[in-house]
Amino acid sequence: MLFRSRQDGDEPYPQGAANALDREFELAEAELERLANAQENGVDKVQGEAGEFTRRPIKTTSSLTADLFWFAVDIVTAGVAARVAAGVTKRFAERVKYTRPAVATVPRKAPNANPWTVDVPTAGPVRTHAIEALLSPDGLAALDEMVQATVIGSMDAARGTLAPSDAASADRGSAIDFFTAQVDRVNDRRMARQFSRIEFHTFMKPFLRREADVALTAIKAFRTLLNDELPTARALQEFHTRQAWMSFLSQRAAGSISADELLGRGLRVLADTVGVTDAARLAAPFSGKTPPPVDGVLDVYFRANRTKPLEPIVVERVYMTGVTEKLLTRCLVGHGLPAADIRLGDLRLAIRAIATAPEVETFGLVLSRDEAGNVFASDATAATPRDSNWLARRAGHRENSPGKQLDGARNVMNELLRSRVADLKPATDQA
């Protein structure tokens, strides 16, 4: 993706404006470097938390595609890019100028002195006047895309020097370290931004001949908005890396389904090249009081009425193996994020929901949801599959069928996903 602005001539750029633009881009380069450092520090922080799990050794390497590991970095970068680009284009769409109230000339005189006048501002606040946008709608769209490409580093990828999907396919079958792959991804983007920044600089320079403040306003807004994102960049990276680490554990333990397989089954995908946990296995019936442990899967125990499916359900506790309680708690509450009000549905984790009742620990109802939001279930609430109609009745059906059971499973899962995680009681197999 490259944009070229119409050249109005071959005359040199105004030197003062060109120097100011160069200085702003140098400052913006420093902000982009700080963004990469914040993301790398976030990955390192979660690596330390994951290493605190000592009950049994957890390998950080796998033959899973590197796209899974990169996704946590890319989603944070894309979010920052979108917010910064929206802010830059908004500055142009809502450009205003400020004028002070009119000045009144008031005569004054004093004994033994010649009369004189003074200028006194009239009452009233400073006025704002909208001025015509300096870029057309197409120009604003181009600016938005250019800003996003600069933060992401995607212009370099478009030229073929950074090809994630090719690199990921080359890594298939070989061991990839989870945290090393994420740090490498941050550094890849760090290098790619150098080329993207040059392209952005080139894109803005022709404006110096016509409206120098266009280029300067754009890059100043870009730098300021990027700086505003830095305080939470590390916390965001930690939040998404924790989820990716749990997804990594669950896919190693329960199996992985590729995006192509999901599409072939008519199911939702997380991203074009990112696999998810095989949640269908998690929904299998089990014997005993608790399901078999699966690392990285969030087990949600909820209380339900065994004989009256339409009565309200209540989440009682959540549990996960393979991580410490500190890592799980920080993931659930969005540690470090300002005013985080996270629901279960906001988490990109494999979830297994187990129904309990006061008179029994569990009563044969298991639901699961993968990272992409696909729901699976098994209903063994009666002696025979035909009579196991708890889920179907939950959805308001009198007859039982796989489709009606799936309706009930989605009904229950959607209600669980609305639960505030701050109200839950997390526990793990190592406190």
What structural domains does the chain harbor? 15-93+136-254 (1.20.120), 98-128 (no CATH), 276-430 (no CATH)
Sequence length of the chain is: 431
Rounded distance, CA 159 to CA 164, Å? 13
The 10 Å Cβ neighbour count of residue 336 is 17
Per-residue pLDDT of the chain (431 residues; tens, 9 = 90+): 444 444 445 567 888 889 999 999 999 999 999 999 999 999 999 999 999 998 888 888 877 778 888 999 999 999 999 999 999 988 777 766 667 777 777 777 777 777 777 776 666 666 666 666 667 788 888 889 989 999 999 864 434 333 443 444 334 445 679 999 999 999 999 999 988 999 899 888 888 887 787 778 888 999 999 999 998 999 999 999 999 999 999 999 999 999 999 999 999 999 888 999 999 999 999 987 889 999 999 999 999 998 999 999 999 999 999 999 999 999 998 888 876 788 999 999 999 999 999 877 788 999 999 999 999 999 988 877 778 899 999 999 988 899 999 999 999 999 999 998 878 889 999 86
DSSP annotation of 101: P
Q: Which two tokens stand for residue 28?
A: 């913006």
Residue among 373, 424, 404, 419 at smallest CA distance from 309: 404
**CA 241 to each of CA 13, 82, 173, 217, 238: distance values in angstroms, whole numbers, following the listed order:** 45, 20, 23, 34, 5
Question: At residue 383, what are phi and psi to the nearest 5 degrees?
Answer: -70, -30
